[in-house]
Chain A
């Protein structure tokens, strides 16, 4: 395997509180050394004016295969992830059949190996067939490689099932990931319920629908001691609930996706289904609350919430079109443009939420999410100053609907290295 030297980059690694310009040597798929000079046999990547970080790790990509290959395949989804700077993605079980058997976990891993893009770890169903009734075989699924359990983006509606999952899952020390939404309260809704939905006559999804289930799950995590991860939080109420829960020592982690810290519900005034996502784009006070939650550490991670759909599905009337957008190729640039540039997060804090903490939450094997000596050489080299215009038609993802299409963003992954191999170069 080629020895690689990444030269003269600003190395940002929250796992060792490292933020300085130096060289990194990669050998045999591992981080071999920092601060070294150029060995004669190495491939040299000049990272002058670039930022070198542990490869990004996503907590909730939807790959859609098997079952919905018209939306995304494991090949196209992992290509999109690489282009977005990700070296590992955790895929959700929203497939058909849902990922609830050892065989289906292995299928995803085989397809990912064949594609040879980024690493894929599986989040298996928390309930059999994602039906929300009986627990999936968490023990066997863990043994097959599942790193967490979730029915997301579908919430676990039954409080009893959620309680059982947290209790039972604690035996395997795996997180239960829930996307809190009381469906009784969001029925038929297509957007955030507020002044804008009132004016547009569109059915609303009230923020309480998220708050109520967040409160339920936090209480269940407290009583069971199970590991709870809340994904895609979007309301000021649930951010505040998680803040208090952490203060009280409840074992919970949480993420938000860029949609909910960059865009508000005014965008629905265009009636464009690109903006129909779940959680819905909220009003500005909720957007601000998400940013504050990221700044003060209430929110541990930033996830992609990548939910690609075939164009013919998104082209429908707003209430018929599915919730979701192709986002994974824009997450890093949105973090740079909306959080780092305005000074909300430092590079160390941002990388912590995009790589270090996701690795920690999922307890990923093979030492990823860090640049410590001996760790796996999964690395993303970022050009933080590159200005580019989003063009969804050029996405590697099959999903062509992006709320950010035509937006000017700053910063982009330039080189993505997985296991010591350059897998993507822009």
Chain B
């Protein structure tokens, strides 16, 4: 009895902790496109170790004590910001939230000024979300702090890509040879771009599927299969990642009606019966129930949507720890 409780109190810390794997040297996480397969696997391994050791469930391992992280969100977000805040706190860091909708220039200040002001409060890690692609990249050039991209417009959302890969890996062990379809609004999706690069680097076959107005033929140029008919590709897929229609980013309607979209692309119970038995249904959320996916499927046995959310915490802890450690070793 006492043995069991002491074991529960003493976390089984991953052997790697204390020193980060030599493959990881980055002080920023800006995108997946520039990561190597080894770097991606490094984050996934560390995230899995955190999860296995129960570090995601409680404040057991606090290497970031005394470090300040700032959530610099120029665009609304609840779940990603909450996930990053919790990840940083679980590792012992202090977290400040800075939210500003729209451009900071409405107050006569550029976004770089805003970030430099936050940095001047001795913030070591800046977690930035912005509606404009490349904003984290530009900040990483003008700040001393580490920068984590928490979503830059339709460009990338690297931690989302990583948590999606971690979720697939947990269920399938290995991504090599798997067929993963990203369905929906590829044009406006940062999740799609982060997934495309990551999945390809880990050896999966990637299909992007949706109407031609949201799925460009040009994706073939980077080695991705382009499909417009979900029913044709469905039997081949091991994983479906259902991307939300981003009505807020669309200047004009890329399809005639939500009804027609749902008829062509919504993942319904009828469709799931034509898919592989062990197909994984993923969605980066928030989901439009009835548009991309019906409740029957979202809440059904194939759905790993809530696994994604809990893996998000693990991946963000891993990212924060790797980046802060690389930063600390840089300094010495």
Contact = CB atoms under 8 A, between A and B. Distances in A.
Contact of B190 (A198, A201, A270, A315): A201
A320 B132 contact: yes
3 closest pairs, A vs B, by CB?
A271-B134, A201-B154, A201-B155
B251 A317 contact: no
B112 A319 contact: no
A195 B218 contact: yes
B103 to A, nearest CB: 6
Contacts of B188: 201
Contacts of B193: 199, 201
Given A195-B222, A200-B133, 16 more contacts: A195-B218, A198-B218, A199-B222, A200-B134, A201-B153, A201-B155, A201-B190, A271-B137, A312-B110, A315-B112, A317-B132, A318-B132, A319-B131, A319-B132, A319-B153, A320-B103
A202 interface: yes
Contacts of B103: 316-317, 320
Nearest to A320: B103
A318 B135 CA distance: 8
A187 B251 contact: yes
B261 interface: no
A188 interface: yes
A194 interface: yes
A317 B106 CA distance: 12
B135 A201 contact: no
B221 interface: yes
Contacts of B251: 187-188
B117 to A, nearest CB: 15
Interface of B: 33, 103, 105, 110-112, 130-135, 137-138, 152-156, 188, 190, 193, 216, 218-219, 221-222, 251
Interface in A190-206: 194-195, 198-202
Nearest to B113: A315
Contacts of A316: 103, 105, 110-111
Contacts of A194: 218
A241 to B, nearest CB: 24
Contacts of B110: 312, 315-316
Interface residues of A, number: 19
B138 A271 contact: yes
Given A315-B112, A316-B110, A317-B103, A199 B135 contact: no
Interface string A315-350: 111111000000000000000000000000000000
Nearest to A273: B138
Contacts of B156: 201
B135 A317 contact: yes
B219 A198 contact: yes
Contacts of A195: 218, 221-222
A310 to B, nearest CB: 12
A187 to B, nearest CB: 6
A191 to B, nearest CB: 10
A202 B154 CA distance: 7
Contacts of B133: 200-202, 271, 318
A316 B109 CA distance: 9
Find the residue from A201, A270, A271 having the highest chain B CB count within 10 A.
A201
Contacts of B216: 198
A200 B30 CA distance: 12
A320 B218 contact: no
A271 B216 CA distance: 22
20 contacts: A188-B251, A194-B218, A195-B221, A195-B222, A198-B218, A200-B133, A201-B152, A201-B156, A201-B193, A202-B133, A202-B153, A202-B155, A315-B112, A316-B111, A317-B130, A317-B135, A318-B135, A319-B131, A320-B103, A320-B132
A195 B216 CA distance: 9
Contacts of A188: 251
A316 B154 CA distance: 18
A405 to B, nearest CB: 14
Nearest to A184: B252
Given A312-B110, A315-B112, A316-B103, A200 B132 contact: no
A202 to B, nearest CB: 5
Nearest to B217: A198
Contacts of A318: 132-135
A220 B133 CA distance: 39
Find the residue from B132, B188, B218, B251 having the highest chain A CB count within 10 A.
B132
A202 B135 CA distance: 12
A272 B155 CA distance: 15
A312 B110 CA distance: 8
Contact of B33 (A199, A202, A312, A319): A199
A265 to B, nearest CB: 13
Contacts of A202: 133-134, 153-155
Interface in A171-228: 187-188, 194-195, 198-202
Contact of B105 (A187, A270, A271, A320): A320
B252 to A, nearest CB: 8
A195 B130 CA distance: 22
Contacts of A312: 110
A85 B89 CA distance: 61
A194 B219 CA distance: 10
Contacts of B134: 200, 202, 270-271, 318
Interface string A230-268: 000000000000000000000000000000000000000
A271 B133 CA distance: 8
B286 to A, nearest CB: 20
Contacts of B130: 317
B113 to A, nearest CB: 9
A184 to B, nearest CB: 9
B111 A200 contact: no
B321 to A, nearest CB: 27
A200 B218 contact: no
A318 to B, nearest CB: 5
A199 B251 CA distance: 19
Contacts of B221: 195
A150 to B, nearest CB: 27
Find the residue from B110, B137, B190, B216 having the highest chain A CB count within 10 A.
B110
Nearest to A319: B132
A187 B252 CA distance: 10
Nearest to B154: A201
A198 B218 CA distance: 8
Contacts of A317: 103, 111, 130-132, 135
A278 to B, nearest CB: 17
Interface in A61-91: none
Contacts of B132: 317-320
A271 B193 CA distance: 16
Contacts of B33: 199
